[in-house]
A = this chain, B = another copy of it.
Amino acid sequence: MATMHDVARLAQVSVSTVSYVLTGTRPISQATRNRVLAAMAELDYQPNAMARGLASRRSRILGLLMPMDERGLGATETAFVTGAAAAASAAGYHLVLSPVGGGNLDDLRRLASQRMLDGVVLMEVQLADERVTVLQEAGVPLVLIGRTGDTSTLSYVDIDFDQTVREAVAHLVGLGHRRIVYVNHSAATLASGYGPALRTRDAFTAAMTGHGLEPVMIAAEDSAAGGRAALAAAFARTPELTAVLAMNETAIFGILGELTGRGLSVPDDVSVVSMVTSPQVAELATPALTAMTSPGSALGRIAIEALVRHLDGSAVDRHQQLLPCALEVRGSTAAPRSRQPMGADQ
């Protein structure tokens, strides 16, 4: 393994000159630069990341902390990751994913304090997230995907749930639906302070009320069985329901199954809209689901870019941004059978 000394000797320059060629920190004449570059190529030189990190006090590694819980990453989360990885690579950083589960907060503390990460992006942030505290105490630059309860001091990128829910509801109302049920994540998830669940709940209430309609929300366990139970509960509360809006990607398959089981057809009897869903998942269902497609890779990219700007010092203040999901109409929504669609002109 060739070192800088070897390169310097071969190119007949000092070690520091080689370093300057590599980092561009100081001007180097074209002639010298070429000699150095040639020497590097000949020796197949690769800088030692550890030595670099030690001397410069920055590792050029960014962490993407993702909770790896029971259910795997959906296509949505995967899009975050690929977007982030591409952005990091473009900025000359490595991106490592760290599967910090719930328990190992100490693991996280260690990782952070060991100065191995220049900065981190945190996924799936809770309203009150201990990880944020740990990282802030360790002085690690931080960008969130999602938001904590108090958004004032931190950088974040998140989905604009308010706008997304409003659009979904408007789509259904525009088709003529009046009895719309919202299937959210489980009660436990809501109680734990999971931002998306809470924000969509509030947004749904606001949107429905705005249309003069009654907001009915059901909390469903994240499983097919949970979806089934939720639908049963929905019919119990609102027998004439004609549309379901679902945040719970897992439950939605149970909902569809139960609908079919009751002899109801989608979309003729009941329309279904899935929230924050990737096209891949939406296409899995029969018929394919009308869904609010999450901005996916853009979220990851923007988060990394904000973090890098912060590290490079080109931006000192925090970055806060919301991205809406886009409505993609597929086969699971239609006008309700019992009445004609109501356009704005009626």
Contact = CB atoms under 8 A, between A and B. Distances in A.
A114 B82 contact: no
B54 A68 contact: no
A72 B68 contact: no
Contacts of A107: 89
Interface residues of A, number: 58
Contacts of A48: 54, 114-115
A113 interface: yes
Contact of A68 (B76, B82, B114): B82
Interface string A274-313: 0000101001111010000000000000000000000000
Interface string A71-85: 111111111011001
Given A49-B114, A96-B96, A224-B286, A101 B78 contact: no
A1 interface: yes
B82 A99 contact: yes
A171 to B, nearest CB: 22
A280 B250 CA distance: 9
Contact of A286 (B46, B54, B81, B261): B261
A286 B101 contact: no
A98 interface: yes
A123 B115 CA distance: 28
Contacts of A95: 98-99
A149 to B, nearest CB: 28
Contacts of A150: none
Copies in the complex: 2
A75 B250 CA distance: 12
A209 interface: no
Contacts of A225: 283
Interface string A58-74: 01000000001011111
A41 interface: no
A155 to B, nearest CB: 22
Nearest to A72: B78
A98 B96 contact: yes
Given A54-B54, A82-B99, A253 B286 contact: yes
Contacts of A280: 70-72, 223, 250
A346 B35 CA distance: 83
A91 to B, nearest CB: 13
A94 B65 CA distance: 13
Contacts of A10: none
Contacts of A49: 114-116
A89 B97 CA distance: 15
Contacts of A94: 98, 111, 116
Contacts of A51: 54
A104 B94 CA distance: 12
Contacts of A286: 224, 253-254, 256-258, 260-261
A69 to B, nearest CB: 8
User: Which 4 A-B pairs give the minimum distances between C-beta atoms?
Assistant: A257-B286, A72-B78, A96-B96, A97-B97
